[in-house]
């Protein structure tokens, strides 16, 4: 189905300009770079991690809610505080749980410009994060970095859609599917893509280059100079994100280019096995978040 032609914005505008105009976007994801730093530090204590979580009331509430969920019912009654929640879920899982809590308000709302429901937006984000996490050990990169790049790979779409509403302009971006998705219509309307906006936003939040760079070059992995391995990983994670939710009777998206798979040392026939792993991980995550 084709929509009306994309309306061109009278500009000039840059991704950085757009981010500067969006000061009211939820700031809670900015806690994640600090948490990453703590979790990677040999000298960081559990108390420091808990103190950081407490800074954001919404994250604290979500952590307690998760620790009290049926998934952890074998631990006893409802959690009374964040310390108990962290002890229940385990230190190694804290980052993922805080990521869900910090991004829930940002990622769980519809993107009218892209024809995505809130459920679509969340499914794409979490599936890509889980796929990147699955690939990280094989590729030999940090799992938290890969997971975060996957989780935020579409955050530029959130920024563009929010900006569109505030500017009262009527954009609609059509997706042609992988590998280009909505980039052609974004360039026609804005002169840049959501990948550039997402990278600018993550940089504004002080995320490390290992996350910013893959998000920036997710459609052009051959252009990545600082993080080519992570950028190729994100490219394949997006393929797994889509393939994992396609019914078995339907064809899969076109496979990633051979050079990308070779860079990651992944055999083409191994992709199908991984997509089933992503399906299972998404199912388990859904049960946990319920």
Among 23-27, 59-63, 160-164, 201-205, the minimum mean pLDDT is found in: 23-27
**Shared domain check, 137 and 238:** yes
Domain that includes residue 266, residue range? 108-290
Residue 111: strand pairing partners: 116
Q: Identify the domain boundary among 88, 104, 120.
A: 104
Q: How confident is the model at residue 9 (pLDDT cuts 50, 70, 90)?
A: low
* C-alpha to C-alpha distance for 234 and 214, rounded to whole angstroms: 7
**Shared domain check, 122 and 147:** yes
φ/ψ region of 140 (left if φ > 0, alpha if ψ in -120 to 50, else beta) reads: left
Q: What is the distance of C-alpha 110 from the center of its chain?
A: 15
- Residue 218 contacts residue 183 (beta carbons within 8 Å): no
**Shared domain check, 127 and 74:** no
Q: How confident is the model at residue 8 (pLDDT cuts 50, 70, 90)?
A: low
Note whether residue 38 is domain-resident.
yes
- Residue 163 contacts residue 22 (beta carbons within 8 Å): yes
In the chain the first and final C-alpha atoms are separated, in Å, by 34
pLDDT the model gives residue 45: 82
Among 210, 187, 279, smallest CA distance to 242 is for 279
pLDDT the model gives residue 1: 43
Q: What is the mean pLDDT of residues 60-72?
A: 82
* C-alpha to C-alpha distance for 285 and 289, rounded to whole angstroms: 6
Q: What is the mean pLDDT of residues 185-197?
A: 96
Asked if residue 74 has pLDDT above 70, the reply is no
pLDDT the model gives residue 218: 98
Asked if residue 15 has pLDDT above 90, the reply is yes
Q: What is the distance of C-alpha 102 from the center of its chain?
A: 12
Asked if residue 261 has pLDDT above 70, the reply is yes
- How far CA 206 is from CA of 31, 199, 202, 230, in Å, comes to 9, 11, 6, 18
Q: Over the chain, what is the mean pLDDT?
A: 89
- How far CA 175 is from CA of 30, 124, 180, in Å, comes to 29, 14, 8
**Shared domain check, 80 and 170:** no
**Shared domain check, 69 and 161:** no
pLDDT the model gives residue 2: 47
pLDDT the model gives residue 214: 98
Q: Identify the domain boundary among 76, 104, 132.
A: 104
Reduce the DSSP state of residue 176 to 3 states and report it. Answer: coil
- What's the domain count of the chain? 2
């Amino acid at each position: 189905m084709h929509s009306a032609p994309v309306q061109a914005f009278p500009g000039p505008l840059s991704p950085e300009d757009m981010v500067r105009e969006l000061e009211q976007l939820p700031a809670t994801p900015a806690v994640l770079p600090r948490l990453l730093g703590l979790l990677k530090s040999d000298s960081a204590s559990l108390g420091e991690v808990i103190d950081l979580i407490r800074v954001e009331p919404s994250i604290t509430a979500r952590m307690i809610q998760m620790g009290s969920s049926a998934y952890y019912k074998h631990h006893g009654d409802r959690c009374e505080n964040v310390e108990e929640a962290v002890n229940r879920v385990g230190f190694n899982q804290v980052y993922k749980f805080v990521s869900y809590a910090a991004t829930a308000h940002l990622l769980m709302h519809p993107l009218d410009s892209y024809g995505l429901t809130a459920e679509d937006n969340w499914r794409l984000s979490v599936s890509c994060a889980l796929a990147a996490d699955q690939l990280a050990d094989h590729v030999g990169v940090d799992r938290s970095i890969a997971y975060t790049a996957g989780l935020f790979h579409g955050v530029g779409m959130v920024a563009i859609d929010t900006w569109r509403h505030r500017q009262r302009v009527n954009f609609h971006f059509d997706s042609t599917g992988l590998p280009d998705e909505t980039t052609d219509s974004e360039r026609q309307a804005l002169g840049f893509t959501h990948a550039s906006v997402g990278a600018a936003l993550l940089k504004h939040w002080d995320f490390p280059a290992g996350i910013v760079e893959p998000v920036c070059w997710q459609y052009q992995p051959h252009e990545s100079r600082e993080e080519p391995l992570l950028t190729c990983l994100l490219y394949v994670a997006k393929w797994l994100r889509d393939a994992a939710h396609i019914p078995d009777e339907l064809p899969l998206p076109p496979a990633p280019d051979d050079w990308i798979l070779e860079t990651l040392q992944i055999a083409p026939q191994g992709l199908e096995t991984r997509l089933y792993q992503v399906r299972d991980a998404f199912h388990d995550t859904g049960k946990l978040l319920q």
